[in-house]
Amino acid sequence: MSDGDILLTVEEIYTYYGLICALQGVSLNIAEGEAVALIGPNGAGKTTLLQTISGTLRPKKGDILFEGRSITKTPPHEIVRRGIVQVPEGRQIYPHFTVLENLKLGAYVEGNGLVIKDRLEMVFSHFPRLKERLAQKAGTLSGGEQQMLAIARGLMAGPKLLLLDEPSLGLSPQLVDETMDIIKNIHLSGTTILLVDQNAYAALEIAKRAYIIEGGRIIMHEESATLLSNEEVRKKYFGG
């Protein structure tokens, strides 16, 4: 555990899809300044947990605390305003809008034009390629560039906690490395991150701690180095 103050606490939450219990008593915490990975097989509840934290799904039981205050009943737009931003799986950019328009949409909760300008410059420092394509329609970007735009749009909201859902999905090995390097730099610049990614090794190069979720339950929580040295865990979750 980092020595920073606890930024996010998830306490025994239960989230349902109809009658199906997708999260069963899930608890975790993230300290300010940390990068934490969430690992598990498809259908384990990873995306459901991110959506529950960001408010697009509501738990039937349990509580979620951000900066010491419950956000369990807080509307999603207010959760963004408070500083939790999710970059969803599948990018979900606006293909018919330009790169610049997509970026400005990410800052919709911020009314100060000077702040938005500063955030654009910060985004360009991480994603110089996007600066070259500001007038280009987002749908004409390459897959890797679209993923960069999705992350950049999330940064435009000024997150205290960035939730990243499968940022390397569908990318070539070279682009996976490039994307993960950018995420690492974003973290080193001071952003707290909860990272879900199918590439568990790459995720653990960024995160010092990880939770393993399976069947809607957290079954293990260890330092990344400990997980990587566990032969059973490596075979089951990391491909041997």
pLDDT digit string, tens, across residues 23-74 = 999 999 999 999 999 999 999 999 999 999 999 999 999 999 999 999 999 9
Mean of all residue pLDDT scores within the chain: 93
Alpha-carbon distance of 62 to 204, in angstroms, equals 28
pLDDT tens digits, 95-114: 999 999 999 999 987 777 88
Alpha-carbon distance values, 50 to 2, 26, 91, 173 (Å): 21, 12, 15, 25
pTM of the model: 0.93
User: Tokens 């110089």, residue?
Assistant: 128
CB-based burial of residue 125 (10 Å sphere; 0-12 exposed, 13-18 middle, 19+ buried)?
exposed
User: Tokens 């939450």, residue?
Assistant: 13
The pLDDT of residue 90: 77
Express as a percent the part of the chain with pLDDT over 90.
80
CATH code that applies to domain 1-75+196-240: 3.40.50.300
Is the model's pLDDT at 159 over the cut of 60?
Answer: yes
The pLDDT of residue 1: 44
pLDDT tens digits, 207-229: 999 999 999 999 999 999 999 89
Q: Which two tokens stand for residue 198?
A: 């199918």
User: Tokens 């992350």, residue?
Assistant: 151
Measure the N-to-C terminal CA separation of the chain; round to a whole number of Å: 27
Q: Where are the chain's structural domains?
A: 1-75+196-240
Start-end of H helices in 74-127: 76-82, 99-106, 113-126
Start-end of H helices in 127-223: 128-131, 143-155, 173-188, 200-206
